[in-house]
Amino acid sequence: MSERWFSGWRHVFKLDPDRTITDEALDAICTSGTDAIIVGGSSGITFENTVDLMARIRRYAVDCALEVSTLEGAVPGFDGYFVPLVLNTNRAEWINGRQTEGLKEYGTFVPWEETAAQGYIILNAEATAAKLTGAQTELGEDELIAHVRMADRLMQLPVIYLEYSGRFGDMQLVKRARGAVVNAQLFYGGGIDDADKARQAGEAAHTVVVGNVIYTDLTAALSTVAAVQKAPRSGLHTK
């Protein structure tokens, strides 16, 4: 598999421009040893709150990518860009509709070498992103694997993101999804609020994303970095 700008990422913190984080907490996150920060959220994202958070993270050496979820929030100056496509919805707006609108507006300015599509499979019905996009979250194993193959083999997406935002997912299912992946990098995110869950996710997925706990228990959030980085990588792509 060819190297991608995010290939080496095992642990990532996701920061939401629509939430408040103190300078002290941001300093701890950015100097934690995490591989990268993703800036993203599914509601309340504006140009102003995204620029503000980017400028604060930019004081640190850590890689910082934007997950573009609104047209207004497409801000230049990040190290990389992810464009989510939701795969388990029947609302075309969230599969390719808004993305095409975005390309009409910004297509000539996109830094393509540092931009990657993410095939989102949203599995927690309670997540804001699931409600927003009408995601069909009740997938059996066969349906999940079919979505994974659609993303990985037919669509050739570089990232498949199993999204349980707000709830810890089924790690056996995540491992099976990973087993079906040939080229994509499998991101897992959702409900990681201690080192043990982080370790389990680190054993199951290529890349582990930690979000909400940053805002509720910073010490627990920081403990997830070493837990993922020490987790056995058996069965993972060589990156």
Contacting residues toward ligand L4TTDIOY, per CB under 6 A: 40-43, 67-71, 74, 76, 81, 83-84, 86, 94, 98-99, 102-103, 106, 109-110, 115, 120, 127-129, 132-133, 163, 165-166, 212
Q: Under rule CB under 6 A, how many of the chain's residues touch ligand 1GP?
A: 13
| Distance in Å, CB of 158 to ligand 1GP, minimum | 17
Binding mask 203-232 for ligand 1GP (x = CB under 6 A): ------xxxxx-------------------
Tell me if 225 sits within 8 A of 237, measured CB to CB.
Answer: no
Q: Alpha carbon 181 to chain centroid distance?
A: 17
Question: Closer CB to ligand L4TTDIOY, residue 34 or residue 137?
Answer: 137
Partner interacting with residue 132 (select from ligand L4TTDIOY, ligand 1GP, none; CB below 5-8 Å by kind): ligand L4TTDIOY
How far apart (Å, rounded) are the C-alpha atoms in residues 207 and 213? 17
Reduced 3-state DSSP string for 74-133:
CCCCCCEEEEEEECCCCCHHHHHHHHHHHHHHHHHHCCHHHEEEEEEEECCCCCHHHHHH
How far apart (Å, rounded) are the C-alpha atoms in residues 51 and 172? 38
Partner interacting with residue 185 (select from ligand L4TTDIOY, ligand 1GP, none; CB below 5-8 Å by kind): none
How far apart (Å, rounded) are the C-alpha atoms in residues 46 and 222? 27
